[in-house]
A = this chain, B = another copy of it.
Amino acid sequence: MSFSHPASSPNVTMADVARIAGVSTITVSRALRAPQTVAPATRERIEQAIQQTGYVFDSVAGSLKSRRTNLVLVLIPSIMHSYLAHMIQGISDVISPRGLHLVLGTTEETPEGEERTIRAFLPLRPCAILMHNTVHTARTREELLRYGVPLIETGDLIAEPLGHVVSYSNHEAARAMTAHLAATGRKRIAFIYRGPGNERTWIRRSGYRQALADAGLTFAPELEVAAEPGFAGAATALRYLMGLAQPADAGFFVGDDLAAGAMIECQRQGWSVPGRIAVAAYDDSELAAHVDPGITSLRIPRYELGRQAGELLLESLESGAPLSDSRSIDLGFTLNVRQST
């Protein structure tokens, strides 16, 4: 597509500012980037020239020569996943004060979508890349490693990351919750996830299965249910589970709002919680804490995940350490037991 709209019309350049201030362009450049290296009096004249002309620095030109942008690419499955908002805010809070900007891309939940998105974004020359995903195509892995900027993966603690990892263990979190349900005497614990599920879903499911095995409970395939998104999906899944020959006595709802939908359905049907069925949620929310009965949930430190990822990114940029010596940070999770279990 060709845009006839100029980014900015007859423009004031650094050269103009320099001329007015009676210095060379490089001095203006230094006054902007490292003020302390320019004499106060000179700086003053430059400031005035900038005010007078309304000069706006052009980082496109700056980046071309310096071979360094201030763009951080953040790749997420979808913007609509509200649970990512906290993480993104965490990233933003850390990088913005350092002059870095956040460019948002979505992967549509698939490695292929991620590959397309990355290919579309690399021409921007981001100075770092953060991905809420740990499963990539071979080409993506290769292209990212070749590109050579700091890489951070979030989403799960993985064995062979591309670069840094900041996360918690999905497997352990799901296992801990399932173990809690088993410890409170539940025998028919269902695992309800938002279909069609992604890599993290399967990891969580493996934690669930492991906890069942640990507790000596028999694994029942009919208790693993892919729910349609939304409250209605949760309700449908729950009705199915309660209608089984051997009904579920606990539901572990893995995904945005699934547990809330289930609670509403229990109320509607008159199924007492936790009397008839225990309800547990993967992700904590204000709702989970405030409804009556409160919903037992896993608290994932989403904001902190973003903050730490941002910090790590800044450190990496400053140290210039090679991708190969990467760090893996485990931020853990908390099991908030409430009245629903």
* Chain A interface residues toward B at CB < 8 A: 1, 3-9, 54, 56-64, 67-69, 71, 78-82, 85-86, 88-89, 92, 96, 98-99, 101-106, 120-128, 143, 146-150, 230-232, 235, 257, 260-261, 264, 267-268, 286-287, 289-292, 316-320
Contacts and interface: CB of A to CB of B under 8 A. Distances in A.
A79 B91 CA distance: 11
10 contacts: A5-B128, A5-B148, A5-B316, A7-B63, A56-B122, A60-B69, A61-B64, A80-B89, A257-B287, A264-B292
A137 to B, nearest CB: 15
Given A7-B149, A150-B5, A320-B3, A92 B106 contact: yes
Contacts of A67: 6-8
B5 A320 contact: yes
Given A268-B292, A286-B257, A318-B1, A148 B57 contact: no
Contacts of A4: 318-320
Contacts of A289: 231
Contacts of A126: 7
Contact of A260 (B1, B235, B287, B317): B287
A8 B147 contact: yes
Closest 4 CB pairs of A and B: A4-B320, A59-B123, A82-B82, A231-B290
Given A7-B67, A103-B102, A317-B3, A286 B147 contact: no
A86 B92 contact: no
A5 B58 CA distance: 21
B5 A317 contact: yes
A59 B1 CA distance: 14
B106 A103 contact: no
A290 B264 contact: yes
A311 B148 CA distance: 35
Copies of this chain, count: 2
Given A79-B88, A85-B80, A260-B287, A8 B56 contact: no
A289 B63 CA distance: 50
Contacts of A8: 67, 125, 147-149
Nearest to A289: B231
A101 B62 CA distance: 20
Nearest to A3: B317
B89 A101 contact: no
Given A89-B78, A102-B104, A122-B56, A290 B64 contact: no
A324 B286 CA distance: 45
Given A89-B79, A92-B79, A120 B149 contact: no
Contacts of A79: 85, 88-89, 92
Contacts of A121: 101
Contact of A1 (B92, B99, B125): B99
Tell which of A7, A86, A98 has the most Cβ of chain B within 10 Å: A7
A319 B1 CA distance: 12
A293 B290 CA distance: 18
Contacts of A92: 79, 104, 106
Contact of A124 (B1, B59, B88, B106): B59
